[in-house]
Amino acid sequence: NAGVTQTPKFRVLKTGQSMTLLCAQDMNHEYMYWYRQDPGMGLRLIHYSVGEGTTAKGEVPDGYNVSRLKKQNFLLGLESAAPSQTSVYFCASSAAETQYFGPGTRLLVL
Amino acid sequence: GQQVMQIPQYQHVQEGEDFTTYCNSSTTLSNIQWYKQRPGGHPVFLIQLVKSGEVKKQKRLTFQFGEAKKNSSLHITATQTTDVGTYFCATGDGGFKTIFGAGTRLFVKA
């Protein structure tokens, strides 16, 4: 039982490049979330999903897109990366209020 | 929208001293959760409180939920270097999202 996994662990992008972050969970959770965390800051919700095939905007959705084609996977896409998107990205899943986080993806945009 | 405010933002303690972080809301909360994030790690769920005046203990950690369900506290007795990290309180927004406080960063000097 791996819980929540994220790939890649670390990535460096140039401004304007695109990439997709993958989150996978094996707990059969309905709800999945993408957060970003900047140094010394809390967690800011980017997008979330309440079930397969559904997505919704969070607090800071601009510049990101998501897809939930399978219940166990939640993808976060950056179409044209900007330096302001340098951050640590956490995926989380939940069945109710308690959230289970993945190990994070550290993204550096130059 | 619903918000939870955490104080202090950070605290430095000598190993063996006690530590308390507070979480406050202007509205009644249905529940309060506490998470711990070690430096370089991801948030990990510690506990959830749902009842007015509830007190729960985990070894040296004591969690309280206020009588009015508008505040909560996490108290660590006799801190150890393993307690270093950021402690977040969080609450459900009544829908599908979890609202996180900004966190209290704990530094422990050996």
Decide if B15 contacts B79 (C-beta within 8 A).
yes
Which pLDDT does position A104 carry in this prediction? 97
Which pLDDT does position A12 carry in this prediction? 97
Whether A48 sits inside 8 A of B97 (CB atoms) is yes
Q: How far is A21 from chain B (nearest CA, A)?
A: 16
Structure tokens at B62: 């004591």
Task: Report the distance separating Cα A6 and Cα A47, nearest Å.
Answer: 16
Which of A99, A100, A105 to mutate to probe the B interface, most B CBs <10 Å?
A99
Q: In A50-98, which ranges are E strands?
A: 56-57, 64-67, 73-78, 87-94
List per-residue pLDDT tens for chain B, 110 residues long: 678 999 999 999 999 999 999 999 999 999 999 999 999 999 999 999 999 999 999 999 999 999 999 999 999 999 999 999 999 999 988 888 899 999 999 999 99
According to DSSP, the residues that pair with B95 across neighbouring strands are none
Nearest to B10 by CA among B1, B18, B21, B2: B21
Residues A12-71: pLDDT tens digits?
Answer: 999 999 999 999 999 999 999 999 999 877 899 999 999 999 999 999 999 999 999 999
Q: How confident is the model at residue A102 (pLDDT cuts 50, 70, 90)?
A: very high
Which pLDDT does position B1 carry in this prediction? 67
Tokens 């905007």 belong to A57
Which pLDDT does position B103 carry in this prediction? 95
Decide if A27 contacts A93 (C-beta within 8 A).
yes
Task: Report the distance separating Cα B100 and Cα A77, nearest Å.
Answer: 23
User: Of the candidates B41, B45, B103, which has its C-beta nearest A99's C-beta?
Assistant: B45
User: Of the candidates B43, B96, B105, which has its C-beta nearest A31's C-beta?
Assistant: B96
Structure tokens at B77: 């007795």
Q: Is B77 helix (H, G, I), strand (E, B) or coil?
A: coil
